[in-house]
Amino acid sequence: MLWLLAHDDLPWLGSGAVSHEPERLYTRWRDTLDEGAYPAGDPLWQYPPGAGPALLLPGLLMPRLPYPWAFTALTLAADAVITAALAGAGVSRAGRARDRSLRGALLWTGGLPLLLHLPLARFDVQVTAPAVGALLVTARLPRLGGALAAFGALAKAWPALVLVGTEPGRTTRRAWTAAALTAVTLLALLASLFTGVLSFLRQQGERGVQIESLGGTLLSLATRAGWPGQVRYRYGAMELVGPGVGAVAAVALALTAAAFALIALWRLRAVRAALRHGHWPAVLPYDAALAAVLLLTVTSRVISPQYMVWLLGLAAVCLTRRDTTQRPVALLVTAAAAVSALAYPVLYDEVVARTWTGCLVMTVRNGLLVAAAVLACTRLDRLTRCSPAPDARGGGARDGEARNGGVHDGDGRDGHARDGDARDGDARAARDARDEDGPPAPTPRSPLGG
């Protein structure tokens, strides 16, 4: 990332986009927010209210730096925090060496630069940081995990999905309650400090079909067959306009609603399966978060290239555990990130012109994302249905039982005590037999010694 920052002026890296985009857009929004209002009249403002503090933070933390420099410095700091968190999660803890892996930190470190300058020119890395943190701490500190998820969700909505796989019972109650209370409190605070808190809803609702979305790819291919639609710059993105675009947008919205219903259905089935098996796999929250965000990404009317930052972060969290089911999904996400860099900024003119080259690039990128979403959901469902019973999992199941309540803890301690009593009895019997039979015969030594 530092090399990309130093060579930001290269044409295939966006010709200075790292410094120009925050200065051209985020600085303007920061000035409006400084006056106590959200940029309600700006059609480019489409973010939940938590994005306001995120954009103010660079100037507050580093007031002596020009805003674009402070923004980039904060992005690099968030990147470092995510890397450290993933590395810490990948380092084996006492008795859990087989469960942990540093592959997550390696994926994030090597995967993020595949997006070229983009992570440094958007605030998605800053939003990914609390989402990653929420996933990593919720099992141990559910209230903190819920609060972190709420912070992220108030800026870009998707981090709320990191709580979809929390363990039923106390963990879910604490995490979801903390998330709700944090979100309501922060929303009320922002409403008291700024005007136009919910203005983003109007701009977000009026968005059309972005050219990088799955529907946009289908319409771009239709152009090669004679479809007369055009590309227009609207709401901060290149969108398609023409006959049939409204129908494609409606289908995308219906698919998004269906995706939410599918996620809710999976949650219900997973809880029922856990009640039957008495076990909730420790990796399930990680895998569920990646599958849920992938599903909502591919069904969206908008698949901006910065969405890949989210997916890389979630895939990296999955890879911090060796028992994840999402390893091939992470490979597909990484490949999609590399192709996304071709789509934007390297070959973006081809994509907008809907040439065969542009259509091919977008077909490959979105095809990889669809394959990743289908594979992620399939593997998650298999993990949910085929999770072994606690007594078949050895140490992992005992860890889960210890988390689920004191009854299991007590049973475990009693079991250890019984094992100790049995070992003491065996030792006493051996001593009695030795005393009766006399001292044991010496062990024969090899003629060669040793």
Task: From first to last of the 450 residues of the chain, give the pLDDT tens digit.
Answer: 777 777 777 776 666 666 677 888 999 999 999 999 999 989 999 999 999 999 999 999 999 999 989 999 999 999 999 999 999 999 865 445 578 999 999 999 999 999 998 999 899 999 999 999 999 999 999 999 999 999 999 999 999 999 999 999 999 999 999 999 999 999 999 999 999 999 999 888 889 999 999 999 999 999 999 999 999 999 889 999 999 999 999 999 999 999 999 999 999 999 999 998 889 999 999 999 999 999 999 999 999 999 999 999 999 999 999 999 999 999 999 999 999 999 998 999 999 999 999 999 999 999 999 999 999 999 999 999 876 654 444 444 344 333 443 333 434 444 444 444 444 444 444 444 444 444 444 433 333 333
CA gap 184, 142 in Å, rounded: 18
CA gap 389, 397 in Å, rounded: 8
Q: Is 152 exposed, middle or buried (0-12, 13-18, 19+ CB in 10 A)?
A: buried
**CA-based R_g, the chain, Å:** 27
Can you tell me whether residue 119 is helix, strand or coil?
A: helix
DSSP E strand boundaries for 393-445? none
Q: In the Cβ-directed half-sphere of 441, how many Cα atoms lie within 13 Å?
A: 3
CA gap 37, 197 in Å, rounded: 8
Is residue 165 within 8 A of residue 176, CB to CB? The reply is no
pTM of the full structure: 0.85
CA gap 190, 335 in Å, rounded: 39
The dihedral formed by the CA atoms of 216, 235, 187 and 27, expressed in degrees to the nearest 10 = 130
Residues 6+ apart with CB under 8 A from 239: 207, 208, 209, 210, 211, 216, 231, 232, 233
Q: In the Cβ-directed half-sphere of 426, how many Cα atoms lie within 13 Å?
A: 6
CA gap 368, 434 in Å, rounded: 70
CA gap 46, 301 in Å, rounded: 14
The count of other CB atoms within 10 Å of the CB of residue 383 is: 21
CA gap 171, 419 in Å, rounded: 31
Is residue 320 within 8 A of residue 103, CB to CB? The reply is yes
| Per-residue model confidence (pLDDT) at position 41 | 86
Is residue 176 within 8 A of residue 217, CB to CB? The reply is no
Q: In the Cβ-directed half-sphere of 334, how many Cα atoms lie within 13 Å?
A: 18
Task: Look at residues 122, 137, 123 and name the one whose alpha carbon lies nearest to residue 50.
Answer: 123
Tokens at residue 100, please? 């942990």
Residue 241 one-letter amino acid = V
* C-alpha distances out from residue 163 to 186, 273, 316, 380, Å: 18, 18, 17, 15
Is residue 316 within 8 A of residue 83, CB to CB? The reply is no
CA gap 263, 246 in Å, rounded: 26
Is residue 413 within 8 A of residue 419, CB to CB? The reply is no
Residues 6+ apart with CB under 8 A from 205: none
| Per-residue model confidence (pLDDT) at position 409 | 40
What are φ and ψ of residue 210, in 5° steps?
-75, 145
| Per-residue model confidence (pLDDT) at position 102 | 95
Q: In the Cβ-directed half-sphere of 289, how many Cα atoms lie within 13 Å?
A: 32
In angstroms, the first-to-last Cα distance of the chain is 58
Task: Provide the 8-state DSSP code for 24.
Answer: I
| Per-residue model confidence (pLDDT) at position 205 | 87
CA gap 346, 29 in Å, rounded: 27
Is residue 86 within 8 A of residue 132, CB to CB? The reply is yes
Tokens at residue 185, please? 């409190």
| Per-residue model confidence (pLDDT) at position 18 | 62
Is residue 190 within 8 A of residue 49, CB to CB? The reply is yes
CA gap 296, 303 in Å, rounded: 10
